[in-house]
Amino acid sequence: MADKVICITSGKGGVGKSTVTANVATALAMKGYKVAAIDADIGLRNLDLVLGLENRIVYDLVHVVEGVVPAEKALVKDKRTKNLYLLPAAQTKDKSAVKPEDLIRVVEELRDKFDFIFIDSPAGIEEGFKTAVAPADTIIVIANPEMASIRDADRVVGLCEAMQKPEPKLVINKIDPAKVARGDMLDVDDVTQILSLDLLGVVPEDKNMVAYINRGEPAVLFPESIAGRALRNVAERLLGKEIPFMELKVQESFLDKLKKLFGSD
């Protein structure tokens, strides 16, 4: 697989980059692929928390860059999925501690040992973003269906073009069919039309996602999770499979069911 180094970015914080990274990496590892996930958000690491690995970190990305240990020595093996490894970000350094050429070198050190390498980019479009996308074969932009997120995602697309990187693919995260139906949220067609990117996934709002993150358990581990199912589909599409997008329906409320039952308007 040529496109094995995948950077997940957004431009805006809080859209779910780390969650998507953890879940898609886990989904591919569950299928038997050997996967490394690199947290490039120096000083603000979160990927270890989403994966439930925060208590097992000894070395981090800055230790590797500074030559304290080789990259393989700093990898933390996932507790549940034997093929998944995390290279955590440093918690006490700033983004200037890792330059684009440093991350390229680290990725090249790992490239032949893994089927996929994911890079979780820091929010924003400054130095940390440029470092994170530097080694990437594929870039995935995460956007929420709101104008601020879409505008920031569009800025990322322009920067990728200026850096002569491949055009990003798009994952729309946290879409709520009820809000879309009420006109309170942009729908999938609105977002794809504005950004004009290939759509890789649509992840619906999942009421259990906060609990999964707090427990350090990716949603893809739970067959009943609607977000987990959508994120497993993203992994399948990265493998080149043609998977139809989920039909997002408004869930009927208990009150609506009562009205129907008693014939009330």
Residues belonging to the binding site are 12-19
Taking the C-alpha atoms of residue 64 and residue 216, their distance in angstroms, rounded to an integer, is 25
Tokens matching residue 245? 């997008």
Tokens matching residue 16? 């779910």
Binding site residues for ATP, as ranges?
A: 12-19
Side-chain half-sphere CA neighbours of 11 within 13 A: 22
